[in-house]
Structure 1
Amino acid sequence: MQRLFGFMCLVLIATAVPASAQERLKVVASFSILGDFVRNVGGDRVSVTTLVGPEGDAHVYSPTPADAKKIADAKLIFINGLGFEGWLPRLVQSSGSKATVVTATTYITPLKLGSHADPHAWQTVVNAKTYINNIRVALSAAAPADAEVFKSNAEAYRAKLDALEGEIGQFIGQIPSHRRKLITNHEAFGYFAKEYGFEFIAPVGVSTEAEPSARDIAAIITQIKKAKIPAIFLENLSDPRLIKRIAAETGAKVGGTLYSDSLTDEKGDAPTYIDMVRHNIRTLRTALEGVTMRG
């Protein structure tokens, strides 16, 4: 009798274990923004590992042996595609992984960046919704029993993205069209520019791998004056004296940091995709209008 009672208790305990405590679907996301999307759709039914974490640059990332182990253990591998993770196919092959590779940009019409596709499709909320739907479909196929959970999570997150679109319209609508131009040293905002009517101009003669020379600075000043650019965002100009010089000689405002390819950690300005977009639009609004935003 005691043995029967003990067995029944074990059965009751096993059936009472919540889904989140059971084996979760193991998936890998190539970089932090995509990882945030997957977490929002997967919720507690999915265990997400991100290869290129906060503040990391997926363009130049060098995989480690630990990454191969993460890939080998995964059921799904979410990638951005459009040439963003050139190092990943070799990593998947070397890991011997049998995981399904899911391209999150499927059904998005890419813009051109030179002669190649522009991979930064997440820079518009419209495209972010396509990412979410692709993720939902892939997770549901891999774990059909949780399909309704993934659907519910995706719908809840899309509602947040709808609200974010309203915020973007509110902020950007207050910036005159003739002032929607700025310089940034990374060509990551093509989709954003097309969707919201901005002109992002890459500075002439500047490399992200070296400090600009006096000739480079002179060229940038000429470029800003000629194009009547009201704000500059040059991350590689780390010396504030150079930034002040350019601003003083051109009349352009010194902008803040725009996040493009990576989120920050929890203590930073952009720990999630929604935080990143909010930070960027507020930074643009402040720089182009000189108004301090609240909230």
Structure 2
Amino acid sequence: MRKLFAITLAMTPLLACAKLPVVASFSIVADVAREVGGERVDVVSLVAPDQDAHVFQPSPADVRKLAAAKVFVVNGLGFEGWLARLSKSAAFKGLTVTAAAKVKPLAMAEHEEHDDHHGHDHDHGKQDPHAWHNPQNVALYAEAMAAGFAKADPEGAAYYRQRAQAYKAQLLELDGWAAKSFAAIPAERRKVLTSHDAFAYLAARYKLRFMAPQGVSTDAEASAKGVAALIRQVRKEKVSAVFFENMADRRLLDQLSREAGVKVGGKLYSDALSAAPDAATYVQLFKTNVGALVAAMK
């Protein structure tokens, strides 16, 4: 009996330190989840850095990961088209936290008419899901995660709330820096060409203009007619630079760059973090994107 009692006492700290198992849909929400959850959570991302969540196909291993989780953190707004299918396959009974639940979404029509997508098909419905390109929205992500983690782990509620508040302060400081940086660029130079239409929230927040040969999803194909029209538009409007994305094929952008006579300004990080140190976290990703855009626009 004494031996059993001793073993039980020895195991108690281990049980107390057991982390909340969290599965995140893709790398950006996984990073925010780690910032909010800290030492109390164990976060696994289904879609890894430098991988494309638009074309992700869950594997049996992913089904097992979700089945073992207590919390599933997703972006929402239709970003993860495979979401319902995966949850059903895993028979997931835990808590699903929709990070963008309180975000005011941009309707596709709000920026389609400005960006001239030339008839692309969009698989996200009427809402643009790329809300994380506005740090103010990511602050809402942090709030949603803190509330969700607290529900799944009530003892950690104060801890999650405190970490979310600290992270939100960092995000709002980042937002202020970006606003000041873009404000120094003349409005007529705030025009950029990217691979796909992922930056509408960045454009709306800082009064930028993005054009793209693809729609909001990387699996939408750009038509030859659409590309030709976009080349004419880029020449006419004197677009500052062409940027390729970390998880997209850059060949179409290289073609546009050559034919429109616009320099390649470098790489932007759109739908995924990267193994590269300049975008290993959301904060680093945002700083890198803003720095690259400002340099090209100048």
Q: TM-score, structure 2 length as denominator? A: 0.83
Structural mapping, 1:24-173, within 5 Å: 24-114=19-109, 116-173=126-183
Deviation at 1:234, TM superposition (A): 4.5
Deviation at 1:161, TM superposition (A): 1.0
Alpha carbons of 1:196 and 1:241: their partners in 2 closer, same or farther (altered >3 Å)? closer
Q: Give distance in 1, aligned partners of 2:15 and 2:186.
A: 53
Matching residue's letter, 1:229: V
Deviation at 1:145, TM superposition (A): 0.4
Matched, 1:274 2:269: no
Alpha carbons of 1:89 and 1:209: their partners in 2 closer, same or farther (altered >3 Å)? closer
Deviation at 1:24, TM superposition (A): 0.9
Q: Give distance in 2, aligned partners of 1:38 and 1:204.
A: 30
- Unpaired runs of at least 5, structure 2: 110-124
Matching residue's letter, 1:89: A
Matching residue's letter, 2:24: A
| 1:198-257 Cα shifts (integer Å, max 9, x gaps) | 01112389x9679999987754432212122121224544389746634xx64x332111
Identity across the alignment (%): 42
Alpha carbons of 1:101 and 1:197: their partners in 2 closer, same or farther (altered >3 Å)? same
| 1:97-134 Cα shifts (integer Å, max 9, x gaps) | 21121111111111122562100011101100000000
- Unpaired runs of at least 5, structure 1: 290-295
Alpha carbons of 1:231 and 1:144: their partners in 2 closer, same or farther (altered >3 Å)? same
Corresponding residue for residue 288 of structure 1: 297
Q: Give distance in 2, aligned partners of 1:136 and 1:277.
A: 22
Alpha carbons of 1:204 and 1:8: their partners in 2 closer, same or farther (altered >3 Å)? closer
Alpha carbons of 1:280 and 1:7: their partners in 2 closer, same or farther (altered >3 Å)? same
Paired residue for 2:203, among 176, 186, 193?
193
SS at match of 1:116: coil
Alpha carbons of 1:229 and 1:117: their partners in 2 closer, same or farther (altered >3 Å)? same
Deviation at 1:30, TM superposition (A): 0.3
Q: Give distance in 2, aligned partners of 1:202 and 1:258.
A: 13
SS at match of 2:175: helix
SS at match of 2:267: coil
Deviation at 1:167, TM superposition (A): 2.0
Judge conservation of contact 2:196–2:214 (CA < 8 Å) in 1.
no
Judge conservation of contact 2:22–2:72 (CA < 8 Å) in 1.
yes
Q: Give distance in 2, aligned partners of 1:94 and 1:238.
A: 36
Q: Give distance in 2, aligned partners of 1:134 and 1:243.
A: 40
Corresponding residue for residue 186 of structure 2: 176
Alpha carbons of 1:45 and 1:213: their partners in 2 closer, same or farther (altered >3 Å)? closer
SS at match of 1:269: helix
Deviation at 1:82, TM superposition (A): 0.9
Q: Give distance in 2, aligned partners of 1:201 and 1:240.
A: 11
SS at match of 2:46: strand
Judge conservation of contact 2:195–2:250 (CA < 8 Å) in 1.
no
Matched, 1:245 2:290: no
Corresponding residue for residue 293 of structure 1: none
Alpha carbons of 1:93 and 1:227: their partners in 2 closer, same or farther (altered >3 Å)? same
| 1:22-69 Cα shifts (integer Å, max 9, x gaps) | 211111110000000000011110111110110111111100000110
Matching residue's letter, 2:107: K
Deviation at 1:17, TM superposition (A): 5.6
Corresponding residue for residue 292 of structure 1: none
Q: Give distance in 2, aligned partners of 1:147 and 1:277.
A: 28
Tell me whether 159-168 or 59-68 shows the greater mean CA deviation: 159-168
Q: Give distance in 2, aligned partners of 1:110 and 1:213.
A: 27
Alpha carbons of 1:224 and 1:9: their partners in 2 closer, same or farther (altered >3 Å)? closer
